[in-house]
A = this chain, B = another copy of it.
């Protein structure tokens, strides 16, 4: 029974991509939803209002960092999905684990935004990134072993994908470790890593 059902279940990479785009879209929009407008009763002048915006600055930076994190993993996942010839039931479930970690991101982000100076918050945030990376790593490993990857990609690409995930995760782990010296060191380092992945490659390396 299971065999014949599983043969036809979960084979559409396009529907998986559509569900993923939806979950990323909701998670990315909800990040910022927690930014609270200052209470009206405390504001009596333009000066009050500008002052009230001050504390939102660091929060906004954490949201931006998480938006970039989700953006990086969205690019990573879509790169994998675009290179699958088809999906498979098991692969779908690896991506479900990935998507669960995506839905946790708004929580991890609020947690970090609220407790910026607590190591516990940095570790929780890093753990979330670790699950995202691990799921993509297993997904790619499974897809290549199960021959779900399109045959027209350059032969060096599969190994490049794995290396990239390992290097990025090593950098994130090092960033998390830096919280021994202070959580802001961790956050600054993670932001630098992300800027490198989002913006960096536009420069020298491309040549």
Interface residues of A (CB under 8 A from B): 1-12, 15, 17-19, 21-33, 35, 37, 40, 43, 46, 49-50, 53, 64, 67-68, 71, 74-76, 78-79, 82-83, 89-90, 92-93, 96, 99-100, 102-104, 106-107, 110-111, 114-115, 118-121, 124, 153-154, 156-157, 160-161, 163-164, 167, 198-199, 201-202, 205-206
Contact = CB atoms under 8 A, between A and B. Distances in A.
A23 B30 contact: no
State the majority secondary structure of interface residues on A: helix
Contact of A201 (B6, B103, B106): B6
A103 B157 contact: no
B46 A119 contact: yes
B106 A8 contact: no
Nearest to A117: B46
A28 B120 contact: no
A71 to B, nearest CB: 5
Nearest to A165: B5
Contacts of A29: 23, 26-27, 30, 102-103, 106
A143 to B, nearest CB: 14
Given A25-B25, A29-B27, A74-B19, A49 B106 contact: no
Contacts of A201: 2, 6, 89-90
B78 A12 contact: yes
B107 A32 contact: yes
A153 B8 contact: yes
B202 A49 contact: no
Q: Which 8 A-B pairs have the closest CB atoms?
A: A22-B25, A26-B29, A18-B21, A71-B96, A9-B79, A49-B120, A4-B160, A23-B25
A6 B108 CA distance: 28
Contacts of A68: 96
B118 A49 contact: yes
Given A22-B26, A28-B23, A103-B28, A96 B83 contact: no
